[in-house]
A and B are shown apart, each in its own frame.
Chain A
Amino acid sequence: MLFHRRDFVARTLAELTEALQRAVFTHRYARLPGLLQRIDPRAKLVTLMVFLIGAGMAHRMETLLGLYVFSLFLAIVSRVPLGFFLKRVWFFIPIFAGIIAIPAIFNVITPGRPVLTIFRFSDPISLLGLVHIPQEITITQQGLKGASLFVIRVADSVSLAVLLVLTTEWMRLLSALSAFRFPRMGILMLAMTYRYIFLFLRVAEEMFLARRSRTVGHTPAREKRRWIAGGTAFLLNRSYNLGNEVYLAMLSRGWNGKARILEELRLGWLDALWVAFSILILIAIVFSEKGLI
């Protein structure tokens, strides 16, 4: 498919769809004989939670980086190719972290020692006496440190979560969530998101393409804005209807809130070992945060 260079939205949507297809809809690695594939999905869920708590509690760069290296190690022993894994993870990070982390590097949000001055107003600005914008907009050292800690923490969490998803068959994962009495509605939403993000993106892409095939020449900005607002409403409405229909389709074939799978899940010694190991790591993180290691 060829896109006009200026047609940024359509191109971005197409790329996002592609990337999601490959990232989310891969069951290629779930059946390889790797370490994580051997572990019961319930045990994996527990350890993911333990690791996420660890990442949340850690405030030292060393700890967070250590956890990141650990996730890379897990990818290797689970036979997930590193290049693939890195690309998957870092594809999501800008979406989650960029929006929060980038503003935080400036003194507007994080005051501190200036590193680089970006912009200088003639006077300090105060809006209605509520919002104060300093005379100089600078990137601060504290801001940079906070932002990089934040990004690496997100990278840790996303890496571990992506590993769980990559090494577990989707139905087994849903079934494990059911086992933990994860709310029925939550499982349903997960199940649907997994399948339908892609569909929504395709609908959006088709809408843009359909519009382009109907427009000749330049569209005034106001017209464009109106179209985007209308298109968004249509998309939300369509998503809602689709979600509702999918729910009916599941009900119709006997869905009663419990995800079932063919093989019974069985916990073994490897699972116990794995959970114990994750708890050890959590304890290590706690000690290292207190400067005891």
Chain B
Amino acid sequence: MTEEPVFELKNVGYSYMDGLTALDDISLQVMPGQRVVILGVNGSGKSTLIKIMDGLYFPTTGECKAFGVPLTERQFRDEEFAFSFRRKVGLLFQDPDVQLFSPTVWNEVAFAPLQLGLPEDEIKQRVENALETMGIWHLRERAPYQLSEGEKKKVALASLLSLDPQIWLMDEPTANLDPRTQGWVIDFLLSLADRGKTLVLAIHELEVAQIVAQKIYVLGEDHRMAAQGGPDEILGDDDLLTQANLMHIHRHFHGGDAHRHPHVHKHDHHG
């Protein structure tokens, strides 16, 4: 392939201030237009990894390149670079309360296009489009605290849609949602992919990974890369999933014999 990867991580390690390791020796590649899933249990380092890819944290060891340029603190001091990077890459935070910092939904959705200095008419157009696409036009005057969890997620997505980045980094986009909203979000993700967007999704639900992933990286509880491969390869490997603690094991007792069978939901998001 002659195409240049969007992200290229080589032996990335990261430790927080307290010295504990959050990521250890992570290497991965994301190609343009690809749908990549980072799979791992809580605490395995998914959020940390995704923030490194968004240039919010910088690797303690190793290197994270985006568009062929190593992401460093110094690189981001170059305003021109920071500007073009922020315009191309959007990040959906795990906690929507973190993402919604503006006084009203409308302000929230207008934040990114305003910061990036788009012309006034275009900003209005984009905000209206984003609100309508997400079906939250009626919420535009609301304050964040007046929203339900599902509505917050939609506003957070709208606030990225108005930016219309080429690359969508998303941290647990489907967690803590009721099944209907979850299905809706999955449809939205697939529609982004149809429009040629690159998706990097941090996820811990196998059934969501199954639907959206073209390529899966599994983070182990030791914060190292446990495996990588296509969705069938990874999701068919019960031993691997059990080892990464991603498999819910249901025990059924039949006359004293413990018989185990893995529990993987096949998600029907068009239900």
Q: Which residues of A contact B (CB under 8 A)?
A: 21, 25, 27, 169-171, 191-192, 194-195, 198-199, 242, 245-246, 248-256, 260-262
Contact = CB atoms under 8 A, between A and B. Distances in A.
9 contacts: A27-B103, A171-B102, A198-B145, A199-B145, A248-B56, A248-B93, A252-B54, A253-B115, A256-B79
Nearest to B162: A253
B177 interface: no
- Overall SS of chain A's interface: helix
A140 to B, nearest CB: 45
A254 B86 contact: yes
B28 interface: no
Nearest to B163: A253
A262 B114 contact: yes
Interface in B60-87: 79, 82-83, 86-87
Residue from B83, B95, B101, B102 with most neighbouring chain A CB atoms (10 Å): B101
A252 B123 contact: no
Nearest to A250: B101
Interface residues of B, number: 37
A27 B104 contact: yes
A249 B86 contact: no
A238 to B, nearest CB: 11
A25 B142 CA distance: 10
B90 A252 contact: yes
B228 interface: no
Contacts of A251: 56
Given A199-B97, A245-B93, A249-B93, A254 B103 contact: no
Contact of A192 (B54, B56, B101, B160): B101
Contact of B107 (A171, A252, A256): A171
Contacts of A253: 86, 90, 111-112, 115, 159-160, 163
Contacts of A256: 79, 82, 115
Contacts of B140: none
B103 A249 contact: no
B111 to A, nearest CB: 6
A254 B97 contact: no
A169 B106 CA distance: 13
Contacts of A260: 114-115, 117
A254 B83 contact: yes
B103 A171 contact: yes
Nearest to B144: A195
B163 to A, nearest CB: 7
B120 interface: yes
A191 B83 contact: no
A169 B110 CA distance: 15
B10 interface: no
A252 B91 contact: yes
B51 interface: yes
Given A171-B102, A249-B101, A262-B123, A255 B115 contact: yes
Nearest to B120: A262
A188 B101 CA distance: 11
A171 B117 CA distance: 15
Nearest to B107: A171
B20 interface: no
Nearest to A258: B115
10 A-B pairs with the lowest CB-CB distances in the bound complex, closest first? A254-B115, A253-B112, A170-B103, A254-B86, A245-B98, A260-B114, A252-B91, A248-B56, A254-B116, A25-B143
A69 B93 CA distance: 47
Interface string B32-65: 0000000000000000000100101000000000
Contacts of A169: 103
A252 B95 contact: no
B129 interface: no
A277 to B, nearest CB: 29
B162 to A, nearest CB: 10
B99 interface: yes
A252 B110 CA distance: 14
